[in-house]
A and B are shown apart, each in its own frame.
Chain A
C-alpha cells in the first residue's frame, strides 16, 4: 500500500519508508546550475571537503545567467568551471546548451524510479519520467556533493486525475494552471503529487514536463507521472543508466484527491502576482501588454515553439516578442523545421538557449509599470523586473497575445 514516493524512498534509503518518516537517502543524480553551484561549491569547500562523492553522478548546466551578463557573473562562472575541471565532473553543459530541466531529460538523467535532486526548485520536472525529482538549496547540494546522501521527510501524496481530451487551443499548461488555481499555491506544501488519467496518458513527454515542472507552484515536493510507453520510447538509447519503473499500489494512501475534466477546459491565465490567481481566459479583464516571452523550463520545448510558429506564421507581432529555446537541440530542430525562420519573419527575437529573462536577470527584463505575458512558471511581484506585471499562459495564448498586444484567446486567431 505504497505511493510512488514511498517506494522510491524505500529503495533509496534501504528501509520500508512511509509518509512522514525521516530517511537518509542515496541520491541517484545531483544537479546544480551556474546560479546555485556558486554557494554549493563555497559550502563544499568550507566543509573541508576535497573530492565529490561521484563525479559521474553530478550534472552541472550553466543556464541562469548565460552568456555572462556582468564581470561578476563571468568571474563566478570561471570559478565554477575551474572547480568542475578539478573535480573531473564529466556532465558539464556550458553556456548555450540549454536549461538544466531540459538537459537532464535530453541526456537521460531523469529516469523512472530514480531519486534526482537538483539545486533548483523546478527540479520537480523530472517527475514527468516517473522519477522523484525535487529541489533543494545550495548547502543541501554541497552535502550531496560530499556524501551522495541527504535527509528527507517522506512526503504524503496527493492524487490528481485528469480525464478527457484537450480541445483545440488548450494545452498541458492550461491544465496545470487550472490545477494550481484549484489546489492553491500552498495546497501541496511538503507533499508529492501523482498525476493520473486519460488526459495524462495521451500527453507527450513535453506536455508531461510542463505539468510536473509546476508542481512546486502548489508547494509540491515532487510531481510524478507514472512511466509508460511514451516515457520508455523517449528514453530509448539515451538513458544514462539502467532503471526500474516504480508504480503506486492500488491501495496506496493519498492525503487528498482531485479530479479534472479536460473536455471542459479552456485556455487559462494566471494574473499577477500569484500563480494560483487563475481564471478562464473568457473571464479575464482586458489587459494591454508590452512584451511576450515564450520559453523557460515550463514551455521552451520544440512543441511549444511549433505552436507559437503556427500562430505567428505570415503575421507580424504587435509587441516585443522574445523566444528562448530550452536547449541547443530544441533550437537546432526548430531551425531545421523552419520554425525559427517563421518566428523571425513575424518579428520575434530569438535568445540563446537558457533561462532568459524568467528570473529578471537579463535578456528581456521588464520596466516599472510594464506588463509581460509569459510561458514561464512564476508571476511573482518584481520577478522579471521591479514594478512589472506578469501574466502566465500557454505558448499558444502568448503567441496569440503577441499579435494583438493584449491578452488574446488563441482559439479566436
Chain B
C-alpha cells in the first residue's frame, strides 16, 4: 500500500449503513466479486458499474454503521475503491476496513463529486483542490496492518519475523 493515495471522489452523506453498502441477501458466499458487484446497491444500484479502480469515497458522519458484516468493507475494496474518507465511522466497519486492507481516514473535508482527492496516510492529511485538511492520523500499529495489506497478511508477516 502506498502512503499517498490519489483518486476521484464519490460523495455520500451521514449514516451510510452496512445494509445499503451490501444487502444481507448477498452475504452467503466467499466470492469477492459478488460483494463487489453489489457494492452500495442499497443507495445506488448502478454504483458498482460507475466506480473506477482507485476512486475514493468521501462521506459525512457514521459511515459503515450497523452490522458487523466484513463483506461491507470487502465490497468496497473489491469494487475498486482505494480509500474511504469520512467525518466518522461505525466502529466495527473501521476495524473491518483495516483488517481487509482498505485504507480509511477520519477527516472533515470540503469536496465535490468527481474532485481529485489526495490522502497522505502517514501525515493524516487530505488535499482537495489545493486545500489541505488535517484528519486523524491512524495509530502506527494500524498503519502497519494496512501496509502489510490487512490483518491476515500482517499476522503472517509477524510470524515470519519470529
Contacts and interface: CB of A to CB of B under 8 A. Distances in A.
A291 B17 CA distance: 23
Residue picked from A137, A190, A359, most chain B C-beta under 10 Å: A137
Interface in B122-141: 139, 141
Interface in A129-187: 135-140, 142-143, 146, 151, 185-186
B70 A39 contact: yes
A398 to B, nearest CB: 20
A139 B139 contact: no
B150 interface: yes
A151 B154 CA distance: 14
Interface stretch (A68-76, A309-317, A334-342, A401-409): A68-76
B82 interface: no
B155 interface: yes
B27 interface: yes
Nearest to A152: B95
Interface stretch (B46-54, B85-93, B110-118): B85-93
Contact of A360 (B24, B69, B73): B24
A208 interface: no
Contact of A186 (B30, B65, B96): B65
Contacts of A136: 68, 92, 95
Interface stretch (A101-109, A249-257, A375-383): A375-383
B92 A135 contact: yes
B151 A39 contact: no
A136 B91 CA distance: 9
Interface in A20-37: 22, 35-36
A139 B14 CA distance: 26
A43 interface: yes
A279 interface: no
Nearest to B34: A72
B100 interface: yes
Given A137-B99, A274-B15, A383-B19, A378 B25 contact: no
Contact of A146 (B24, B100, B155): B155
Contacts of B155: 47, 143, 146
Residue picked from B17, B28, B96, most chain A C-beta under 10 Å: B28
Interface in A59-97: 65, 70, 72-73, 76
Contacts of B43: 381
Given A380-B20, A381-B19, A139 B28 contact: no
A10 interface: no
Contacts of B95: 136-137, 140
Contacts of A35: 27-28, 69
A146 B156 CA distance: 12
Contacts of B150: 139
Contact of A219 (B25, B29, B62, B70): B62
Contacts of B141: 22, 151
B120 interface: no
B39 to A, nearest CB: 14
Contacts of B19: 359-360, 378, 380-383
Given A135-B92, A185-B15, A380-B20, A72 B70 contact: no
Contact of A70 (B28, B92, B156): B28
Nearest to A360: B24
B62 A72 contact: no
B70 A137 contact: yes
A361 interface: yes
B71 A186 contact: no
B108 interface: no
B23 interface: yes
Contact of B15 (A39, A76, A118, A186): A186
Nearest to A32: B68
Contacts of B28: 35, 38, 65, 70, 72-73, 76, 361
A116 interface: no
Nearest to B27: A35
Given A39-B30, A186-B88, A221-B91, A135 B24 contact: no
A51 B150 CA distance: 21
A36 B88 contact: no
Closest 3 CB pairs of A and B: A137-B96, A186-B62, A139-B99
Interface of B: 14-15, 17, 19-20, 23-25, 27-30, 42-43, 61-62, 65-71, 73, 88-92, 95-96, 99-100, 139, 141, 150-152, 155-156, 159
Interface of A: 22, 35-36, 38-39, 42-43, 46-48, 65, 70, 72-73, 76, 118-121, 123, 135-140, 142-143, 146, 151, 185-186, 189-190, 216, 219, 221, 274, 359-361, 365, 378, 380-383, 386
17 contacts: A36-B70, A39-B30, A72-B29, A119-B68, A136-B68, A136-B92, A137-B70, A138-B96, A142-B151, A185-B15, A186-B65, A189-B62, A190-B91, A359-B19, A378-B19, A378-B67, A382-B23
